[in-house]
Every structure is written in C-alpha cells, then in structure tokens.
Amino acid sequence: MKKIIVLTMLVLSALGFAKEVNIKILGTSDVHGHIVPWNYQTDEFDDSGSYSQIAKMVDGYRKGNKNVILVDAGDIIQDNLIERFINEPRHPAMLVLNQMGYDVMVPGNHEFNFGMPALDNVLKQFKGKALAANIYYDNGANYLPASTIITKEGVKIGIIGVTTPLTEKFEENTGNVKGMKFTMPIPELRNQVNSLRGRVDAIVVVAHMGLPNENNIPGTGVIDIANEVPGIDVIIAGHFHKDVSKETVNGVLITEPYKYGMSLSVVDLKFNVEKGSVSLINKDSRTLSVKGEDSEQGIEVIYNPFHQKLREEVNQVIGETANNMVPEGKIKGIPYAFASDTGLSSLITAAELYYSKADVVSFSYDTENVKLEKGPIRRKDIYANYRYAGGEVTVYEMTGRDLKDYMEWSAGYFDTIRSGDTEYKYNAERRNFKYVTYDIFGGVRYKIDLKAAPGSRIRDLTLVSSYKRITDNMKVRVGMNSYRYEMLVQKGGPLEGRNIKKVWDSKEAMGQEKGTIQNMVINYIVDVRKGKVTGLSNNYWSITGLR
C-alpha cells in the first residue's frame, strides 16, 4: 500500500499537479527594552508585553511548521533602562533575539541614540540579517545590506528593510550619526524591488516607519510607499506605536504591531506551486495581544543577570521629600499634574534651570500616572515620572513671540470649553499622537485659559527671575528637549522658518549620561539639595476656565 501511495505522489508530481505552500511571517516592532514582563521604571511586574512572552507565542507557531519567518522593525535597545547595557560585549537584546531565532531586524531611529560605534557593536552580535536599504556611509557605501531572500519549501520571500529618514534630523545635533546618510525610502525601494523582481515570489518590506507621513513630510510613511512603489506585497510597519491589524493600500497589505511587545503581527501568505511556477494567491494579517501570555523561561534565564542589575539600580535612595509631590485625583477631569504646577514639576524645572542657566525651560510627562509620595526618593521615582531616558535640555535663543507661540501650541493639547462643559477635555487629534505634545514650563508664571480659542490662551506670562512681563521682542533663552524643538520648527510647526540659534546642549556640556534630564534631576537632588526636598509646588502655572 505504501508503495502505491509513494508511486502515486511521484506520478502526480511529474504531471505538475499544484500544491499550496503557506508561509507565516511574525513581526514585532518598538519593543523598547521590554525583554521580560517587568517595568524597570516603576520596578513592577508587567505582563502587558515583552519578548519573552512573544517567544512563547512564536514557539507555538513553529511547532510542526517550518515555514515561519520572524522579523523585527526596530527600536529594540532603548527604553525600559536597557540602554544601560549599550556597551556590553554581549548585549542582552541580541542574546534574546538570537535565542528566539529572528531572521531579520531593521534598526529604528532609537538604535542611533548612542553613536555608531555602540550600534556597530550591537549589530555585529545579531545572527540574523540586519537590513537597511536607505542608510549609507558618507562615502556612498551601504551601512547594512538592503535586502535578503528567505526560502521556505521552495518559495522565495524577498525582504527589504528601511528606516525613517528623519533619524538623521533627529540626531543632527548629537553627533551620533556623524558620517552617515539617511535617504528617502521610496527611490531605494523602487531599486530594490526591481532588483528582486523575477528572483522571488513575494516581496515584504520591514519598515521602521508609521502609516501616515511623519511631520507632514511626503515619503516618510508607508502609505506613500504602498502608493508609489509597485511590486510590494506586504509591509510590516513600526515607529508610530500603533496597533494596525490589517490595512490594504493600493493592493499592499500593511500591519503594525503596536509597541513595547504588546502585540504580535501575524502575516499569512498562501502560494500556489505548479510546474515550477509559484504565485501568491492569498494574503492576510492580524495582530494578537500579548497581554497575559506566559513568559518563556529560557529568555528569562538569559536576562536574569541584567534584570538583577537594573532592580538594584532603580531602588537606590537618592533623597527624601517632606511632602507628597503630586496631589491625588483630578482637576475637572484632568490629572492634577497636567492641570497645575506641582512639587514634582517644580523640582524637574528647577533642575533644568539650574544646570542650563536658561530663562525658561520645558518638559513633558508621557504618562498620566504621575506621583511621588512623601518619604524616600528612589531613582525609579524619577525614571517613572520622566520616562524618556535619552531626553536632554538644549537651550535656544528665542524672542518672546517665539516662546508665546510655542506655549500656545502646547496649550492646543486641550479643547476649548463649550457652554455646559463641566470638565476639561483633551483635543482628540493631539491626544492621538505618538508622543504627548503638551509641555510644562518653568522659569515663568502663566495661566492657560481654556475658555479662549487656540492661539490666544496664555495669560499673565512673566519671568520668575525678574517679574518682567514677556514681550514679543524680548530675548529669551529657552531650554527644551531637541526632539521637541524639531517638531516646533518643522513644516507646519508653530516656529517654522524662525531664526533661532542654539546656544547650549546638556549632553555636549555635561556628557551623554549626566546630560539627560533624568540624571540632572537626580544630581540636583543629591548634589544641590543634599538629598532634602520639600516637595511643595511653586504654584507658577495652572489651567483655568471652569469654576
């Protein structure tokens, strides 16, 4: 009987009967140091997402199925304090990606936060293929291969990697990408698709780019790519921290797996193979939530030495506050820290002002769960409330009009109060942005009147140091994170086209680590306040409009 079955299969094969081949591509992006289910900024268990949980899910897909491809669209080695290990000879993220069997990774913009030697050290440890079609050395040589071909059961998948071209702009004042050139992805992808055409059966782009264009710049989003580059079958996107289960644009299937390891993109490709000819007959995608999934113990074992080091660091006591620094509850529907000056915002801006010598400074919370209670202050209390580990203070010489326009833009984070409103409300469009675009200012007294229309809300704006009212032509040194500045001066931004000079950079002046806002606040508590903080608010600002 067995001989008959084998003979029948050989005959059918010889006659060229078709068979179906199913290939599954699993995609992650913007995991940002979430290796195991632990938030090191708060020092708490967090099973909302991590590589170790995704590893368990990937193992499930691989059981009995060799046609699985695993890719990552970047932003791996920054955030959740993994940047502490950037110069490790065996980087923990690469140990984990190799253990999980990643086939492809594409560097995201945050991979470039630490300079090229550090990134080179990380990437050389990756056992899969690191791809980037639009990153070059200044001499014109490719930084990484543009594409690779992966064959599964005779079917060839061409994979091309691209990253946001705005990385060069993001890092232009840091020196981190000196000697590098980031080109626009669309021309590069056209070249790569033409090169792969005829050699592969499907083309997949892994892009550290969101769906819409970034900062209103054409060609910086994958929707533009789908519309402008013929021949692409699938795009696995990232960068924008959105959960996109399935979008189809111009026949191109697009998916994006959210952030922090919270989602896994699953792409299913079905091929018909007949007489040596292969055709893609169906494609589909979805995202799966990782929350609550079991963690792969092998990954936890690999990361445990690093886990212990981070927990020891974040629990180090750096001082003490005599009062709760953020009142509990909300003011008319808005968390207290977003609605009024607090002891914490007063502390952060005091540290920024002290080290930068600026007249005015700003920062933003990227969490609404802002708190710091009376008692010991630990490093994790600073990390948890100001979460951008790489955030620095860069000082720019502005006019009073520039500052006012910046502050009005920030105040646009809220909707205008309407008749009958009993609570303040966020502006839905601004709220939906990748980052919080509402800034808190120090060195000035002001009120935000939400009864007024956007653009005319800032009231009673005066300098704390001199009590002088800020006038349009006044020269003001304003310190902020350089990412925020780039957002302000971009096309369509509130400071587009202004003649503004950079005069100081905390990382240039103090070093890459000491010059971060997190470390400035910590050092201010330890060195300037000698570990003693009152925790009281300056009460320099608030939002108004409702009684």
Q: Per-residue pLDDT tens for 235-294?
A: 999 999 999 999 999 999 999 999 999 999 999 999 999 988 999 999 999 999 999 999
* Closest by CA position to 246, among listed 450, 399, 27, 77: 27
The answer, yes or no, to whether residue 432 has pLDDT greater than 50, is: yes
Per-residue pLDDT averaged across 395-413, rounded? Answer: 98
How many C-beta atoms lie closer than 10 Å to residue 312's C-beta? 9
Please give the pLDDT value at position 7: 46
Alpha helix (H) residue ranges in 161-296: 167-170, 185-196, 222-228
Read off the CATH number of the domain in which 189 is found. 3.60.21.10
- Residue 13 resides in a domain: no
State whether 293 and 320 are in the same domain.
Answer: no
Predicted pLDDT of residue 122: 98
Q: Are 531 and 319 in contact (CB under 8 A)?
A: yes
How large a percentage of the chain has pLDDT more than 90?
92
Domain count, the chain: 2
Domain containing 273 equals 19-309
Domain assignment of residue 247, yes or no: yes
Q: At what angle do helices 297-314 and 92-100 cross, to 10 degrees?
A: 160
Select from 272, 288, 309 the last residue of a domain. Answer: 309
**Domain stop point among 293, 309, 325:** 309
CATH code of the domain containing 352:
3.90.780.10
| Within a domain: 521 | yes
Q: Do 360 and 411 reside in the same domain of the chain? A: yes
- Residue 3 inside a domain? The answer is no
Ranking 1-5, 126-130, 364-368 by mean pLDDT, the lowest is 1-5
CA angle 205, 256, 119 (to 5 degrees): 65
Percent of the chain at pLDDT > 70 equals 97
Residues 373 and 257 in one domain: no
- Residue at which a domain ends, from 287, 309, 331: 309
> Nearest-CA neighbor of 76 among 43, 46, 102?
102
Mean pLDDT of the chain: 95
131-153 residue pLDDT tens: 999 999 999 999 999 999 999 99
Give the pLDDT of residue 31.
99
